[in-house]
Amino acid sequence: MKSRFGIVLVLCLGLATAAFAAPANRATALFAGGCFWCEETAFEGVPGVVAVISGYTGGRVPNPTYEQVSSGVTGHAESVQVIYGPSKITYEKLLDIFWHNVDPFQSNGQFCDHGNQYRSAIFYRDEAQHKAAEASKARLEEEPRFKGKIVTQIVPASTFYTAEEYHQDFYKKNPVRYYSYRTGCGRDARLKEIWGEAAGGHK
């Protein structure tokens, strides 16, 4: 029979092993597509996606607040960090979801939101993500309607700052305001216009 100390030791070692093993089973992707409330819902609940976090990236001011970012003076974009299991979903699939939830033709904004803080962008974390992002764009540009017209940025990732807690899972916390905003902004109507039946949905 194992002593209590022995059991605790085994449990601790097991937890330590799990903690160290976790990074190998997780990866992150970083996207900007206008309002991060809506970008969250594009990835939430997708099989293989572990978590989606709203935040700010691509700017020059450390630890920015929502008020600073929304004013457009920090250079950050409202964005989402997608934590996923590569064995369950590929980065290429996440890119496909991303494209079908943005207007790739709109520069300096998305839908009714205007300003650099609402730009669409793929922030790649390594060369593999960079190549995958460029390849996904190239596939879209095989269609004449996309050729030379996509303005979505593909740029290196910089520091990602998590947004204030009240922004996380906003569609669950304040569904009336979320749906009112989403409808009023014309997001789904424009996505349908661009992507047809393949347009990204929402919760």
Q: Which residues are catalytic?
A: 35
What is the DSSP annotation of the chain?
---HHHHHHHHHHHHHHHHHHGGGG-EEEEEEES-HHHHHHHHTT-TTEEEEEEEEES-SSSS--HHHHHHT-S--EEEEEEEE-TTTS-HHHHHHHHHTTS-TT--SEETTEESGGG-EEEEESSHHHHHHHHHHHHHHTTSTTTTTT---EEEE----EEPPGGGTTHHHH-HHHHHHHHHHTTHHHHHHHHHGGG-----
